[in-house]
Structure 1
């Protein structure tokens, strides 16, 4: 009998084993042979001869890799210093996934007196990259400083000139210069020693542009001291930049038969919504669970315990005698229908995201076959889910404590099952209610063989858990954006997200979900839905909305932050045709506005990154202004991309106010004038540091302005 040894690390409930090859030691780095004998203590690095500290990006001291996407400019910084007064410098070295030196960048000093140095890398493919910062003593920099002062004061003139000549000769011998730079250095050495020339001419030869250029390109480096290796996990761009659209396939085409019984919609009937999502500019369509729904304790409309005979129940109550997490609800169609749905999406440039909800209906096959995967109460019953005062009698939560290896293997099998059917994105339901170590193991194991697969954490929970889920591997995270509605709240929150946490946690802004209808949108008009969409789409590189948002659906369950007649518990077919041009509801949909926002996002790289947001002063607290700037290094060689967004946060009243711009943040001088084009309306305006704006919430709730130089 053939046997095959599995290379998948086993999940044991305690340690999330990482794939081999992900090392944090300096072995691969040292093997590159710099030829300079860096001072390194292997295993647990000590401080080098030239101290290098505070290296960023670094997640919890290198315990987890920092994150990047292909083509994203990553700033590396470190504190580099030494004893005494000799000059120091630093080089950032980027190592590719094979451990080869991919690129080396001479770091530039930051603010005077801080000893901080900075450089920018742009990784060009997926993989586990790494980098080190090399601190080194700069003999040329030391000589230049001392020579200018001493020779200018008439002290040790000949000695300083001779030391400079010897540095030039050393550089010719030691550096890897080509003929022309080497010739410049040789000539400089000769002039430095030429007593027939004036002292100023001799010194100028050692300080010439040619000499400095040669020694910047290939510097003399003494006492080279590398930092510990830091990992940088580079993923596909969709991990950072994406636009999500959520829909329930069962509602598309759902109808009542002649006996008043509901008939479910199917995957085939839902395919027109794929075309609509693509037309609105979305690139991911997210489906709530598509599995069989349990019949035991099934919920009725508005979460009642009295379902009708044909009520569908909550799709998150997964499993019945028709199957579990690896099955499709028969009302939706067959696996062939699902495959056709995925292929149709792919042809439209869309990806399908599936819900990964690790919970079960009481009649899920797991409940019978593996009762040890659940929590048994003192009376012998299995505990259902609760989030007081909410009760979910139709759902059994999973318990990872009794059989972590068996449960982990089954979940991995389910995920790989859907990956084999073309699913590359998973929205994970309530990951904060499962062990963090499990997610670290699962995501790393999946990405080891399928690096293109992405996981979004739906974790509306405490910050420590949200941040740690990002650290251990989740590619994106839901956020508190839904509850940030004032200028102060938005400014503080986005500033925090774009800070150091951006090394590992990528936000995804959703103004609504099937679970959450914030008070701001309840019974509100299109102005409220438009302004929240503008904020979500222009403040975060990833955003999403739940189907019906474009219709401004806002009827709440009285006294709750939930939808009335929630689609979670019943079919909710919509007459989409009536909202098309010529339809009876044409004009009541903000789909054209959503489409324009997504088009702007696709056309402007500045909106596809996270760290480049600057808030500007506005006299009115109900108006917010921020800019998004991307310099030419990340725009594929084109000009820099600068956008200014001004939003009226009051959905009921026109606001007139002054905006005061931080001009250097836009790459401009304080007294520069420039032209802006409103990318929503096409109107152009001359702008400067101080600008008057008038925003009508009904007709123009926001400016999205593209900066054009005069």
Structure 2
């Protein structure tokens, strides 16, 4: 009897369904792709880079402050100041030297004014609704930074045991810090905290950020956030930097691809790889800086006209409406057509703004971004989705959509006219055209004719 009961129990056990699994191996639980908390104000951020030396005839913080109303009217809202620190004299390049040769992280360049002048600039910018970020040079210092004599062990050495600049580059006016030294991290990190805590700085643009260990940036981000929310932009290209440390990184590939397209060396299909990687290999929250020009490209690669020619308006429109964090380099809005000297005084000629159409275009693009939630930065905006046409070697078309708002961009990124047919219903709908507000209807199979470098932007539904 006992054996029969045991046999019956075994049958019942085998027949019973397996219990539902309610727990999982923690090893395989996904972690957050990014833990960076963007400050709310970065949702609509449009950066404006200021080279204090060249921005005004005086080249001072006080003079730059007088330009705030004009920048407000342009629509930019985050002011990125190139390094404000005293510049090294030893091995200096040119008469005035490079702002990226930092003699003291805790002081300001007397060429620009005093610490009180800088504080006044930041306070005035905040009162006008701007945020201010500083260019931060952590990789290296000037040869005559006091750390060289006080802490020579904080620097990397060459094969002879001498101080050395960054290898391979022609940066003879600087010497590299050794980031294995805890003292380096403390000195540089505490300086960053001072500018945020005592002067109200809203974040940093990190020069050659990838040359500095990632764990420093991650730890320093947390220390800065303990003071108040900050925005961090890395001059680098790596998705890892956007997981814990940086809100945004450079879109170097984008910049070089659109230059090649403008010069006829490539066609719009070259952008497919960039946008595919942007969607698949990066955190959804990550922002990537799409820029036509910055201080480096202007000085060493060519002006916006040398690099883009007739394609300049179209590429500017793409930078402001495609996925990316847009930026204006001082002088672009005035049609600046010269390479600004890097080591000398060379003020921007603002009289060029008379009759310049680029400034009004930038102003209208900023307003268009702000009116359409789909064009917001980071996780707030809509992903770009390809609109297929029968002319992919000339036409680059896309949609972005979120919160009931939709934007369509159709760009002829070539120097020849084109007639293209919409291959499907992806972009079909009723829209209003950028700038004119004219009603536009798109239908499957519709044919569009665009002049060389012509683009059409249109939006529909919810606006804010």
**With structure 1 as the length reference, what TM-score do the two structures score?**
0.56
By how many angstroms is 1:331 displaced?
A: 1.6
Q: Are the counterparts in 1 of residues 48 and 327 from structure 2 also a CA contact under 8 Å?
A: yes
1:253 aligned residue: 56
Q: Mapping of 1:323-472 within 5 angstroms? A: 324-358=104-138, 359-386=140-167, 388=168, 390-401=169-180, 403-404=181-182, 406-420=183-197, 421-447=199-225, 449-460=226-237, 466-472=238-244
Q: Mapping of 1:30-109 within 5 angstroms? A: 39-40=22-23, 45=26, 61-62=30-31, 65-67=32-34
Q: Are the counterparts in 1 of residues 36 and 242 from structure 2 also a CA contact under 8 Å?
A: no
Local SS of the residue matching 1:265? coil
Residue 603 of structure 1, aligned match among 368, 371, 376: 371
**Unaligned stretches of 5+ residues in structure 1:** 1-36, 47-52, 56-60, 68-231, 255-263, 301-310, 461-465, 556-563, 580-585, 632-639, 669-673
Confirm or deny that 1:590 pairs with 2:358. Answer: yes
Residue 316 of structure 1, aligned match among 71, 94, 100: 100
1:95 aligned residue: none
Alpha-carbon distance between aligned partners in 2 of 1:233 and 1:506, rounded to the nearest angstrom: 11
Deviations 1:576-601 (A, max 9, x none): 2452xxxxxx2234100000000011
2:399 aligned residue: 627
2:254 aligned residue: 481
Local SS of the residue matching 1:626? strand
By how many angstroms is 1:695 displaced?
A: 3.1
Alpha-carbon distance between aligned partners in 1 of 2:331 and 2:254, rounded to the nearest angstrom: 19
Q: Mapping of 1:629-648 within 5 angstroms? A: 629-631=401-403, 640-648=404-412
1:679 aligned residue: 434
By how many angstroms is 1:500 displaced?
A: 4.9
Alpha-carbon distance between aligned partners in 2 of 1:533 and 1:417, rounded to the nearest angstrom: 36
1:693 aligned residue: 448
Q: Are the counterparts in 1 of residues 36 and 243 from structure 2 also a CA contact under 8 Å?
A: no
Residue 384 of structure 2, aligned match among 605, 613, 630: 613
Bigger Cα displacement from structure 2, 541-550 vs 346-355: 541-550
Of Structure 1 and Structure 2, the greater helix share is in 2
Q: Are the counterparts in 1 of residues 54 and 347 from structure 2 also a CA contact under 8 Å?
A: yes
Q: Are the counterparts in 1 of residues 431 and 439 from structure 2 also a CA contact under 8 Å?
A: yes
Residue 298 of structure 1, aligned match among 70, 92, 101: 92
Alpha-carbon distance between aligned partners in 2 of 1:611 and 1:495, rounded to the nearest angstrom: 15
Q: Are the counterparts in 2 of residues 357 and 429 from structure 1 also a CA contact under 8 Å?
A: yes
Q: Mapping of 1:175-190 within 5 angstroms? A: none
Confirm or deny that 1:512 pairs with 2:275. Answer: no
By how many angstroms is 1:513 displaced?
A: 1.5
Local SS of the residue matching 1:498? helix
Q: Relative contact order (C-alpha < 8 Å, sep 6+): which is higher?
A: 2
Pairs aligned (count): 426
Deviations 1:469-488 (A, max 9, x none): 12232111112210122322
Alpha-carbon distance between aligned partners in 2 of 1:695 and 1:519, rounded to the nearest angstrom: 28
Deviations 1:634-660 (A, max 9, x none): xxxxxx10110111212x444332233
Q: Are the counterparts in 1 of residues 323 and 384 from structure 2 also a CA contact under 8 Å?
A: no
Deviations 1:137-175 (A, max 9, x none): xxxxxxxxxxxxxxxxxxxxxxxxxxxxxxxxxxxxxxx
Q: Are the counterparts in 1 of residues 137 and 207 from structure 2 also a CA contact under 8 Å?
A: yes
Alpha-carbon distance between aligned partners in 1 of 2:283 and 2:233, rounded to the nearest angstrom: 15
Q: Are the counterparts in 2 of residues 289 and 356 from structure 1 also a CA contact under 8 Å?
A: yes
Alpha-carbon distance between aligned partners in 1 of 2:303 and 2:123, rounded to the nearest angstrom: 37
Residue 413 of structure 2, aligned match among 645, 649, 658: 649
2:262 aligned residue: none
Alpha-carbon distance between aligned partners in 2 of 1:678 and 1:661, rounded to the nearest angstrom: 21
- C-alpha root-mean-square deviation of aligned residues, in Å? 2.6
Q: Mapping of 1:653-672 within 5 angstroms? A: 653-663=416-426
Residue 452 and residue 368 in structure 1: after superposition, are their counterparts in 2 closer, same or farther (change >3 A)? same
By how many angstroms is 1:422 displaced?
A: 0.8
Alpha-carbon distance between aligned partners in 1 of 2:228 and 2:33, rounded to the nearest angstrom: 16
By how many angstroms is 1:241 displaced?
A: 4.2
Larger Rg: 1
Residue 270 and residue 676 in structure 1: after superposition, are their counterparts in 2 closer, same or farther (change >3 A)? same
Local SS of the residue matching 1:298? coil
Residue 607 and residue 346 in structure 1: after superposition, are their counterparts in 2 closer, same or farther (change >3 A)? same
Alpha-carbon distance between aligned partners in 1 of 2:270 and 2:40, rounded to the nearest angstrom: 28
1:84 aligned residue: none
Of Structure 1 and Structure 2, the greater strand share is in 1
By how many angstroms is 1:553 displaced?
A: 4.2
2:16 aligned residue: none
Alpha-carbon distance between aligned partners in 2 of 1:339 and 1:345, rounded to the nearest angstrom: 10
Deviations 1:84-121 (A, max 9, x none): xxxxxxxxxxxxxxxxxxxxxxxxxxxxxxxxxxxxxx
Local SS of the residue matching 1:618? coil
**Unaligned stretches of 5+ residues in structure 2:** 1-19, 259-266
Local SS of the residue matching 2:388? strand
Local SS of the residue matching 1:445? helix
Alpha-carbon distance between aligned partners in 2 of 1:356 and 1:543, rounded to the nearest angstrom: 20
